[in-house]
Amino acid sequence: MSAATDTAAAVRVGGRTVEVPRPDKVLFPADGLTKADLADYYHRVARRMVPQLRGRPLMLERHPDGIDGPGFLQKDVPDHFPDWLTRAELPKADGTVTYALCDDAASLVYLASQACVTPHRWLSRADRPDHPDRLVFDLDPPGDDFDSVLRAARRLRALLDDLGLPSLPMTTGSRGLHVVVPLLRRDAFDEVRAFARDVADVLAARHPDELTTAARKKERRGRLYLDVQRNGYGQTAVAPYAVRARPGAPVAAPLDWAELDEPGLTARRWTVRDAAELLDREPWRDAPRGHSAAAARRRLAELGEGG
């Protein structure tokens, strides 16, 4: 923090000065972490995080009274947000929504100053909002069985590899893992989600005692749910390096596949206190280029397993 008063702190970020009101406001009571701590974390990880956010509409998870108080999810940009923060006006069923974009470090710190604990990103960019360049499989355990998440992720990776789709794992900072597939922006959301559902159906059919695509909890019977519902227009997924509104301030951390074999790995392995360690790691530095979901769907059909 470059300057502070009783009511605000000023952070110099990339040529801008961002005011952080009430910097000593405790957002994580069990951990004593303040709004200033949140802004500092996002400032430190910005060089890793901003490339994962740039150009993408965001849904902001805000907790102005701390994570033990009422929070809310915000899509429309409030009027008081600064003019220099990039916006994108996109259609919805009954009108439009003006979303915040995070195209630089100052924007990320500003969002933290507004008690945005967790930015959730679209899987497409604002210039072609109906054509995703990411596909996400959300793997949450039944109960607390994280080993089941690891098994499912490895099996999913193997199937995606067979389809010519390299993938990237990430802890969610909550309960499970995301498996992220970079895509070319050729296919619309409806086609991408249908393909994701086909892949999930194939994997569940191969391992029916452990995996399911049943959306209703009562039908899962203790099996891990292969969730593909985030792959739709206007849906979001937690952003890489984002802080989660949970005790300990865990973060969503990109992984390489070898790290799934490390003892003690959990969805909350890294927290805001691990910023230096997160910066030392760069598991997605050589992330694969995007591939075609339509081509992979044809491969799935050639295997005799796709719809």
Which of 122, 145, 167 is a domain's end point? Answer: 122
Question: Does residue 138 sit in the same domain as residue 25?
Answer: no
Tell me what pLDDT residue 7 has: 80
Question: Does residue 162 sit in the same domain as residue 255?
Answer: yes
Number of domains in the chain: 2
Question: Does residue 10 sit in the same domain as residue 100?
Answer: yes
Question: pLDDT tens digits, residue range 218-262?
Answer: 899 999 999 999 999 999 999 999 999 999 999 999 999 999 999
Residue 273: DSSP 8-state: G
Which of 89, 122, 155 is a domain's end point? Answer: 122
Structure tokens belonging to residue 247: 């005790």
Question: Does residue 114 sit in the same domain as residue 179?
Answer: no
Structure tokens belonging to residue 287: 């992330």
Question: Does residue 141 sit in the same domain as residue 75?
Answer: no
Question: Does residue 17 sit in the same domain as residue 77?
Answer: yes
Question: Does residue 182 sit in the same domain as residue 150?
Answer: yes
Long-range (24+ apart) CB contacts under 8 A made by 165-170 are: 165/291, 165/293, 165/296, 166/288, 166/291, 168/254, 168/255, 168/283, 168/284, 168/287, 168/288, 169/254, 169/255, 169/256, 169/257, 169/259, 169/260, 170/240, 170/252, 170/253, 170/254, 170/255
Tell me what pLDDT residue 33 has: 98
Please list the ranges in the chain whose pLDDT falls under 50. Answer: 1-5, 307
Question: Does residue 292 sit in the same domain as residue 226?
Answer: yes
Tell me what pLDDT residue 305 has: 59
Question: Does residue 87 sit in the same domain as residue 156?
Answer: no
Q: Residue holding tokens 């430190």?
A: 44
Containing domain of residue 22, as a range?
1-122
Question: Does residue 50 sit in the same domain as residue 2?
Answer: yes
CATH of the domain at 261: 3.90.920.10
The string of DSSP letters for 66-102 reads: -TTS--EEE-SPPTTS-TTS-EEEEEETTEEEEEE--
Question: Does residue 257 sit in the same domain as residue 156?
Answer: yes
Question: Does residue 81 sit in the same domain as residue 163?
Answer: no
Which of 87, 122, 157 is a domain's end point? Answer: 122
Contacts of 51 (CB under 8 A, 6+ apart): none
Task: Rounding to the nearest 10 degrees, give the CA dihedral for residues 22, 27, 32, 33.
Answer: -80
